[in-house]
Amino acid sequence: MLALQGDFAEHTDVVRRLGAEAIPVRLPQHLPGLHGLIIPGGESTTIVRLLDIFGLRQPILELAQRAAIFGTCAGMILLAKQATDLAQPTLGLIDIVVQRNAFGRQVDSFEAALPFKGLATPVQAVFIRAPLILKAGPAVEVLASLPDGTPVAARQGNILVAAFHPELTADTRVHGYFLGLAQESSRLC
Ligand code: GLN
């Protein structure tokens, strides 16, 4: 669990409720041995600044070679290949272009029940000053979209992103999906 800023405590609760171990990551020495990493929602400009201050950028890029990574909201922005209105470079681990704060002030925050590929019934998606996916490359599988077709959750191999906050509802299925990816990665190495 990347525990620099944002709602990592909520994510940690969900992971533990699912019976998995969650270790807070604040420094590069916390990364070895992990099978997955969650980059939580928060403020992407702050998280990316702290990431560089604590020397976590390169070690996270290396971790992505052998572990699953899940980014929600600000975390999705950081994992994207490109993000609008972000001065610092992103991690670029998934071939998507995202627009920060895409829903403007009027609809700052909202909820929607969205079908999610692989899950039997829709998930209640909570959006808070959320980004959206403007473009997704051919290797990216879109997992959930808004009714107008805008993609809001996607996966490329071991990298999972969601513009919304599954950690803020009682439904643990999206985290369960991620733990499945982490388990797969752990079997490969
Ligand atoms: N608006 C935030 C950003 O651009 C993301 C909001 C969130 O993570 N809930 O970083």
Tell me how far the alpha carbon of residue 130 lies from the centroid of ligand 1, in angstroms.
Answer: 6
Q: What is the CATH number of the domain that holds 100?
A: 3.40.50.880
Q: What local confidence, expressed as pLDDT, does residue 9 receive?
A: 98
Give the H or E element holding residue 61: helix 57-63
Domain assignment of residue 70, yes or no: yes
Q: Which of 83, 98, 144 is nearest to 119 (CA)?
A: 144
Q: Is 100 in the pocket of ligand 1 (CB under 6 A)?
A: yes
**Exposed (0-12), middle (13-18) or buried (19+): which is 26, by Cβ within 10 Å?**
middle
What is the model's pLDDT at position 126?
97
The closest alpha carbon to 51, from 98, 85, 90, belongs to 90
CA of 116 to the centre of ligand 1 (A): 21
Side chain identity at residue 81, one-letter code: K
- Does 1 reside within a domain? no
Measured from the CB, is residue 186 less than 6 Å from ligand 1?
A: no
Task: Give CA 104 to chain center in angstroms.
Answer: 21
In a domain, 17, yes or no: yes
The answer as to whether 2 is a domain residue is no
- Closest approach atom of ligand 1 to CA 85: 4
In a domain, 3, yes or no: no
Alpha helices in 110-189 (DSSP H): 173-188
pLDDT the model gives residue 106: 61
Ligand 1 binding pocket includes 49 (Cβ within 6 Å): no
Q: Which two tokens stand for residue 38?
A: 């969650």
Is residue 36 domain-resident? yes
Question: Which residue, 47, 80, 70, is CA-closest to 167?
Answer: 70
Residue 44 in contact with ligand 1 by CB distance below 6 A: yes
Give yes or no for residue 128 CB within 6 A of ligand 1. yes
Total structural domains within the chain: 1
Nearest atom of ligand 1 to the alpha carbon of 74: 8
Half-sphere exposure of 156 (CA within 13 A, CB side): 17
C-alpha angle with apex 132: 79 to 123, nearest 5 degrees? Answer: 95
Q: How far apart are CA 50 and CA 162, in angstroms?
A: 21
Query: What is the rounded distance in angstroms from the CA atom of residue 43 to the CA atom of residue 5?
Result: 8
pLDDT number for residue 186: 83
The range of the structural domain enclosing residue 173 comes to 8-188
pLDDT, averaged in runs of 10, over the chain (189 residues): 98 98 98 97 98 98 98 98 96 98 82 97 97 98 97 98 98 98 85
Helix, coil or strand: residue 70: strand
Ligand 1, atom 8, residue with closest C-alpha: 41
Burial of 181 per CB tally in 10 Å (0-12, 13-18, 19+): buried
In a domain, 90, yes or no: yes
Within a domain: residue 143?
Answer: yes
Strand order in the sheet with 68-72: 36-39, 68-72, 159-162, 151-156, 141-145
Residue of 10, 86, 101 to mutate, ligand 1, most atoms within 8 A of C-beta: 101
